[in-house]
Structure 1
Amino acid sequence: MQDSLISIEMIGIMLVGVIVFLTIAGLIFVYIRKKKRFDVSKISITDIDRMSGHEFEDYLYVLLVGLGYDDTCLTKKSRDFGADLLFRDQSDQETVVQAKRITEKMGLDAVQEIYAAKAYYEAQKAIVITTAENISEPCKKLAAATHVSIVKRKELIEVIRLFKKGRIEEAQAIIEMPYEEVSYNSDLSIEEHKPQRGLIKAGEYFYRG
């Protein structure tokens, strides 16, 4: 009987030990995950893909300051007039940035918004930094027409890699790369509505002069 009681006590002690061990291991795991999540030097593109839009903006703020853009600032989370961040580049040009944390193909809206923000904040340059792999053709054409630079997923991954290796100037060169020149013809976006026999018509509306 006494041996049985000792065995039960030993099992109880072992179970308590296992529970304590698992608890400590769990706390360590959570700590490591949090540290990795919030330490920009340890964040990967996989971590970024799990971020919300606002988290991506905060991440880019810390990254840009880490890249030497000391005067970087965030705009308000609402009513930002199209820009999420502002900084001065190595040529001392005021630059507005829109952070676009998306997985689908990027469309026109990001370029339209950051171009408007460039005027609002009286900046000299405009950049969209996005996690998107693909950019729509209309978006590329509008970016070329408005001189908006787009840092796509591939370039962002390279910036992160260079930042982690301390190759700051190379990372800055990607951030500050000029806009991509794409051929476009704005005339193709214009519809002609010539009056016929004095009838002016567009859609369901007409006027006979």
Structure 2
Amino acid sequence: MQTRTKRRIIALLFAVLGVAGTYFFSSSWELLIVGISIVGCIVFLLLSFFTPSLANRIDRMEGREFEEWLVELFEGAGYRVELTPASRDFGADLLIEDAQGYRIAIQAKRYGGPVGLEAVQQVAAAVPFYDMDEGWVVTNSTYTDAALRLAEPNRVRLIDREELLEFAREIGFR
């Protein structure tokens, strides 16, 4: 069960217990405590309903903020991560390395529409420049047909919105 659903159930349970407590206790001091508990639970319940999803939070990020979030994501997955400079990055926003020493250059694209072939070209150029084993383009969106066609012969992995969100959920990001 998802964390938000668990919080809602717990908040609802406390609200019900608060109402039941109000019924069974009659003194004003106890009534005040129960009333505060009820209000607190209702606020908690409402906030849990309006907590933005991971996808919505990512969609509101700026480009560099998305790159920094990816640093946290890949570090959480056990990679060593280097964030390249914001400008003059030579086609890679992140350089990651797994425990076996396999090195990957990542071009991050936080877009509102499909990512085009330019991102594939950038990371394909970054792989030899940074002496990496592979290149990835990671986005919160999808890819154009041209990007998909260019990626395969250049051995560039394209990670789209669905794969990114699934990966984040698998390692516990919410």
For the superposition of Structure 1 and Structure 2, which TM-score range results when normalised by the shorter chain? 0.5 to 0.7
RMSD of equivalent CA atoms: 2.4
Which of 101, 122, 133 aligns to 1:124? It is 133
2:39 aligned partner: none
1:160 aligned partner: 168
1:108 aligned partner: 117
Matched residue type, 2:153: A
Give the 4+ runs in structure 1 shifted more than 4 A: none
Q: C-alpha distance in 2, partners of 1:102/1:127?
A: 16
Which of 145, 157, 160 aligns to 1:149? It is 157
Matched residue type, 2:160: K
Larger RCO, structure (CA 8 Å, separation 6 or more): 2
Q: Does 1:88 find its partner at 2:71?
A: no
Q: C-alpha distance in 1, partners of 2:68/2:123?
A: 18
Q: How many Å apart are 1:43 and its aligned residue?
A: 6.9
Q: Does 1:65 find its partner at 2:75?
A: yes
Q: How many Å apart are 1:106 and its aligned residue?
A: 1.3
Tell me if structure 1 keeps the 8 A contact 2:78–2:98.
Answer: no
Q: How many Å apart are 1:91 and its aligned residue?
A: 3.9
CA deviation vs aligned residue, 1:26-77 (integer Å, no higher than 9, x gap): xxxxxx9xxx8xxxxx9711101000000000000011111111x2110001
Matched residue type, 1:44: L
Q: C-alpha distance in 2, partners of 1:108/1:163?
A: 29
CA deviation vs aligned residue, 1:151-192 (integer Å, no higher than 9, x gap): 100101101211217xxxxxxxxxxxxxxxxxxxxxxxxxxx
Runs (5+) with no aligned partner, structure 2: 1-46
Worse-matched range after superposition: 102-111 or 86-95: 86-95
Runs (5+) with no aligned partner, structure 1: 1-31, 37-41, 166-209
Output the TM-score relative to the length of structure 1. 0.56
CA deviation vs aligned residue, 1:92-132 (integer Å, no higher than 9, x gap): 21110011100211110100000001111011110111011
Q: C-alpha distance in 2, partners of 1:125/1:90?
A: 15
Q: C-alpha distance in 1, partners of 2:129/2:58?
A: 29
Count of matched residue positions in the alignment of Structure 1 and Structure 2: 127
Q: C-alpha distance in 2, partners of 1:98/1:151?
A: 10
Distance 1:43 1:75, change over 3 A: farther
1:14 aligned partner: none
Q: C-alpha distance in 1, partners of 2:115/2:82?
A: 24
